[in-house]
Amino acid sequence: MHGYAGQWLRVDLSSGKSWVEPLDETRARRYLGGRGMGARILLDEVPRGGDPLGPENRLVFAMGPLAGTFAPGSGRFVVLAKSPATDGFGEAYTGGFVAHELKYAGYDGIVVQGRAAELVYLAIVNDRVEIRPAGHLAGRGTLETEAAIAGELGDRETRVISIGLAGEKRVLYACVMNDTDRAAGRTGLGAVMGAKNLKAIAIRGTGRVTLADPKRFREHALADLAKIRKHPWLGDSPGSAGALGTAGGVEDLSNAGILPTRNWETGTWEYADRISGTAMKNTILLGHRACQACPVGCTRVVQVLGGPFGGVRPEYGGPEYETVAAFGSLCENPDLEAIALLNQRCNVYGLDTISAGSAIAFAMECFEQGILTEREIGFRLDWGDAPAMVRLLDMIARREGVGDLLAEGARRAAAKLGRGASDLAVEVKGLEFGMHEARGKKGLALSYATAPRGADHMEGFHDPSLAVPNAWPELGVTEAMDRFILEGKPRVVRLAEDYTSFINCLPLCSFMSLTVGGIRNTDEISGMLSAATGWTDLTFAEEMAIGERAYNLARAFTVRESGGTADDRLPAKLSRRLRDGASRAQVITDRDLQPALQEYYRLRGWSETGTPTETKLTELGLADVARQLAGQGDGR
Partner 1 sequence: MSRMIVVDPAKCTNCRMCELACSLVKTGAFAPSRSRIRVHVFAEEFKHIPLACFQCTAAPCVKVCPAGALAQDDGLVRFVAEACIGCRMCMLGCPFGVIAFDSATGVIAKCDTCDGDPECVRFCTPHALEFRESELADVPKGRDFARRVAEAAKG
Binding site for partner 1 (CB under 8 A): 68-70, 97, 100, 104, 180, 206-211, 214, 218, 222, 225, 229, 242, 286-295, 297, 301, 303, 313-315
Burial (CB < 10 A; 0-12, 13-18, 19+), residue 92, is buried
Among residues 290 and 538, whose Cβ is nearest to partner 1? Answer: 290
Minimum distance from residue 299 beta carbon to partner 1 (Å): 8
Closest CB 243 distance from partner 1, rounded Å: 11
- Closest contact distance (angstroms) between CB of 313 and partner 1 is 7
The residue (of 10 and 289) whose beta carbon lies closer to partner 1 is: 289
Q: How far is the CB of 444 from partner 1 (least distance, A)?
A: 30
CA atoms within 13 A on the CB side of 46: 33
DSSP 8-class letter at 203: E
Residue closer to partner 1, measured from CB, 96 or 260 = 96
Minimum CB distance to partner 1, residue 487 (Å) = 41
Whole-number minimum distance, CB 172 to partner 1, in Å?
A: 30
User: From CA 464, how far away is CA 460, in angstroms rounded?
Assistant: 12
Torsion of CA 389, 319, 430, 588, to 10 degrees: 100
- Residue 530 C-beta: closest distance to partner 1, Å: 17
107, 119 Cβ separation under 8 angstroms: no
| Identity of the residue, 186 or 231, whose beta carbon is nearer to partner 1 in the bound complex | 231
Q: How far is the CB of 259 from partner 1 (least distance, A)?
A: 28
Whichever of 221 and 449 has its CB closer to partner 1, that residue is: 221
Residue 187 Cβ vs partner 1, minimum distance, rounded to whole Å: 28
Nearer to partner 1, 297 or 430 (CB): 297
Cα 161 from chain centroid (whole Å): 16
Q: How far is the CB of 107 from partner 1 (least distance, A)?
A: 15
CA angle 167, 170, 172 (to 5 degrees): 100
| Contact of 483 with 518, CB cutoff 8 Å | no
Task: Please say whether the beta carbons of 358 and 406 come within 8 A.
Answer: no
Amino acid (one-letter) located at 492: V
Write the DSSP symbol of residue 173. Answer: T
Backbone angles phi, psi at 177, to 5 degrees: -100, 155
Q: Which is nearer to partner 1, 211 or 388 (CB)?
A: 211
Cα-based distances in Å from 354 to 23, 173, 236, 288, 616: 35, 9, 28, 21, 34
Chain centre to alpha carbon of residue 158: 24
Q: Which helix (H) or strand (E) holds 504?
A: helix 489-505
Please identify, using beta-carbon distances, which residue of 72 and 581 lies nearer to partner 1. Answer: 72
Considering the complex, state which of residue 291 and residue 620 has its C-beta at the smaller distance from partner 1: 291
User: Residue by residue, what is the 3-state secondary structure of 329-394?
Assistant: HHHCCCCHHHHHHHHHHHHHHCECHHHHHHHHHHHHHHHHCCCCCHHHHCCCCCCCCHHHHHHHHH
Strand ranges (DSSP E) for 537-626?
A: none
Between 289 and 584, CB nearer to partner 1: 289
Residue type, 401: G
